[in-house]
Amino acid sequence: MARQFQMPKLGLTMEEGTILQWLVDDETDVVAGQAVLIIETDKVETDVEASSSGVLKQIGEVDEAYQCGSLIGWFLEEGETPPVPQEPGPGEGRHSKSTDSPGAGPVKAAGSLGPKDKPGRVLASPSAKRRARELGIDLATISGSGPQGRIISNDVEVAATNPPTRSGFSAKSGPRPLATIAARNLADLIGIELDDIQPAGPDRRITRLDVIQHIQALIAPAPQDPPIAELAALSQTPSEVIPMTGMRGTIARRMHAALQEMAQLTITMEVDMTAVVEDRENRKGENKPPGYTDYVIAATAAALHQHPYVNSQMTGEGLALLPVAHVGMAVALDRGLIVPVIRNTHSLDLGAVATETERLAVAAREGKLSLEELEGGTFVVTALGMYGVDSFTPIINPPNTAILGVGRLREIAIWENDSFTGVTAITLSLSWDHRAFDGAPAALFLQTVKQQLERWGSVP
């Protein structure tokens, strides 16, 4: 009996996955638990195991993105053929969460619909779309030879030798816009041309939200203020243009949204690190003493336990106080910033914190973090001291309500006992969402972190 192979949901925030590579050939006999493909989410690349045993008939296309629960293959018995895909009936839609078929609703459908099943919808691989744009060919004029009639790059090359007539192009010349299934369904329902919609995301794909915002703009009264000026033209020919996609695009969207949606403020506080420095010197006999950021993370976890309003998230009902602190630590990679999470941080002693931060940092740099290790953080500690930075303004990682920045370790002079004394200090920078709590509670929390560090070894 044929069994569906669906795009898995590997974490709470995962909505879709892009197939990077099939690890086995099509129609290969596989066993449950065997790694059969590699997918990419907006956070990590990871292997996906077969959910069943049998002959794997691959439906999902490499470089295509699919919503969680979408059909990407079948597990068949020897000699069995895949079931014929059924077109949804009127009003059923193609949303994986709301239809009876758990395989419905790929972001870019494959294996269930023909290449031109609705006006404006053309199913093609990303390489075919790129080549079509380069050659100025309308994909709607091409018959696909890929699985289920999908257009592949070779089809575009063949079509280039036999140019279509102008009647094959859309009313607005040029290739049809990229759009999600949900966006196309809504546009078809309302009767809106996707060519008229400007996508907001950096990947230039029109989403359902783009369609909704376009409709709202059409029915809204004309604005009184002058329109926002377009971005200035480049003053030079760039040596390189880095696309705002993948991890970089995700960071851009989340950080921009955080600044738009939150009332963020930052306060700073100097901390005398003498006690920490002495404690670390005493630990030099260990295999590897904790880093200074490990001390800050441990002190932060203790402070979150004392000030639960900081270990929180904003919801539609109000400020949700979270009972357990899972502190995330920012790790810089060549392609962007990633934040693995130290689980149950308050319950760990300093040695355990240091061991976990080292393990997570290595896994992050080697690309071996799991989605579980990237989700569920309730607070973030980010450090730039290793780059010589004294203090900075960190941006809150939604849905958290605060983040702590750590500056460099440096020597300063303080006035003590009628004379100046040199001490080793750092500057901590706390950014918080003023909607969640005010400046005085923020200062009290930061003061507790300071006290934990300055009295290291003498406070419980």
Task: Note the pLDDT tens digit of each residue in 357-377.
Answer: 999 999 988 888 888 898 899
pLDDT for 389 equals 95
Work out the angle between the directed axes of helices 350-365 and 292-306 (0-180°, nearest 10): 120
Beta carbons within 10 angstroms of residue 229's beta carbon: 6
What pLDDT is attached to residue 381? 97
**CA angle 70–74–76, rounded 5-degree value:** 160
Contact 367, 227 (CB under 8 A): no
Question: Is it the case that residue 228 has pLDDT exceeding 50?
Answer: no
Q: What pLDDT was estimated at residue 97?
A: 35
Measured in whole angstroms, the distance separating CA 129 from the mean position of its chain's CA atoms is: 24
Residue 355 scores a pLDDT above 70 = yes
* Dihedral angle computed from the Cα positions of residues 103, 141, 192 and 85, in that order, rounded to the nearest 10 degrees: -20
Range with lowest mean pLDDT among 42-46, 225-229, 377-381: 225-229
Peptide bond into 8 cis (omega under 30): no
Q: Which conformational region is residue 342 in: left (phi greater than 0), alpha (psi within -120 to 50 degrees), or beta?
A: beta
Q: Among 84-98, 144-158, 161-175, 412-426, name the most confident range.
A: 412-426
Residue whose structure tokens are 């009295």: 455
Helix (H) or strand (E) holding 331: strand 331-333
pLDDT of residue 368: 86
Instruction: Name the strand (E) or helix (H) holding 441.
Output: helix 439-454
Higher per-residue pLDDT: 97 or 35 = 35
Q: What pLDDT is recorded for position 168?
A: 39
pLDDT, mean of residues 129-149: 72
Band of the pLDDT at 96, cuts 50, 70, 90?
Answer: very low
Of the listed ranges 239-253, 369-383, 414-428, the least confidently predicted one is 239-253
Mean pLDDT, the chain, integer: 79
Average pLDDT over residues 318-336: 90
The pLDDT confidence band at residue 239, using thresholds 50, 70 and 90, is confident
Q: Running DSSP on this structure, what letter comes out for residue 178?
A: P
Nearest to 342 by CA among 303, 313, 381, 312: 381
Identify the pLDDT of residue 113. Answer: 38
Report pLDDT for 108. Answer: 40
Both tokens of residue 59? 């439906």
Comparing 315 with 460, which gets the higher pLDDT? 315
Looking at the chain, the whole-number percentage of residues with pLDDT higher than 90 is 37
Across the range 98-124, mean pLDDT stands at 43
Q: What is the pTM of this model?
A: 0.56
- Residue-wise pLDDT tens digits, 6-35: 999 887 777 888 888 899 998 899 999 998
Both tokens assigned to 373: 């290790």
Residue among 176, 177, 136, 180 at smallest CA distance from 156: 136
In sequence order, which residues have a C-beta less than 8 Å from that of residue 134 and are 6 or more positions away? none
pLDDT of residue 44: 73
The per-residue pLDDT for 353 is 96
Q: Residue 227: what pLDDT?
A: 46
The answer on pLDDT for 230 being more than 60 is no
C-alpha dist (Å) from residue 180 to 40, 94, 194: 17, 11, 11
Domains along the sequence of the chain with CATH = 246-454 (3.30.559.10)
Enumerate the β-bridge partners of residue 327: 342, 379
Percent over 70 (pLDDT), the chain: 78
| pLDDT value at 163 more than 60 | no
Residue 298, CA atoms < 13 Å, CB-side half-sphere: 24
Among residues 339, 338, 358, 337, the alpha carbon closest in space to that of 348 is found at 358
Q: What is the pLDDT of residue 444?
A: 97
**Helix H or strand E encompassing 213:** helix 208-219
Compute the distance between CA of residue 195 and CA of residue 203 in angstroms, rounded to an integer: 16
